[in-house]
Structure 1
Amino acid sequence: MTSRSGTALASILAEGYNDRPYVHGAVERLGIPGIRFVDGPRGCVAGAGTAFPVPMARGATWDLALEERVGEVIGREIRAQGGNLFGGVCVNLLRHPAWVTPCGAPSSRQTSQVTGRLFTP
């Protein structure tokens, strides 16, 4: 018998990583489609999505109209791949230099003002 992690690894090696949305919570017999997760944060990574600059670089422009257009394109690409949940919101308000790590580097974190304006409705 193959372990779940072994099955997942075999699937990734055979089919590729993030080539399609990951389905969670679907109940086929009840007609519940579930959540269809697609990762980010530089755009739709499923299929042949556009690779945008990381959120930190986009946030450094302070261009809210540009971010709105990028978001619209990402949304269209996610839906075209069958996704309905985008995992690309990557916001870290790192307030201490010791926190500037590889995990924090690609995030939007210039100031709380720009982060609030770019990533809240």
Structure 2
Amino acid sequence: MSISSMSTMNGNAEAFAAAEREPTIQELFAPRIRERESISPDQALIHMFKVMMGTGMLSLPLAFTHSGLWTLATLAVIGNVIYLTAVCIVPQQLFQIECPSRSLLAVANWSVLQLFFGTVMFAFEGVQW
């Protein structure tokens, strides 16, 4: 061993001896000494938020590339266009039919009873209590 490493080792031995001692509760929760260059706890919290949010935002493009969400997004846009078209067609057809309500039957035949119950069950499938 060289002389410089021996002197460093002796200096570190004192630091290790001090580090082996368990800190007391007062030392753990003692207020931190404010220095000119130090940051406040609020600033430290904001920095921690920025680090966590920044890491997530920087990885979003890579996540989109590998997840296939672009395909799903295009399919969702196509589905929304079809849905909006259907929503526009239904009121248009509803208001174009000029059939007087007096000419409609108040009660249907027994042969369409299954159709009635199928329509009712389909309508209630979307309702959640």
Instruction: Name the structure with the higher helix share.
Output: 2
Same topology, TM > 0.5: no
Instruction: Name the structure with the higher strand share.
Output: 1
**Normalised by the size of structure 1, how large is the TM-score?**
0.22
- Looking at CA atoms only, which structure, 1 or 2, has the larger radius of gyration? 2
**Normalised by the size of structure 2, how large is the TM-score?**
0.21
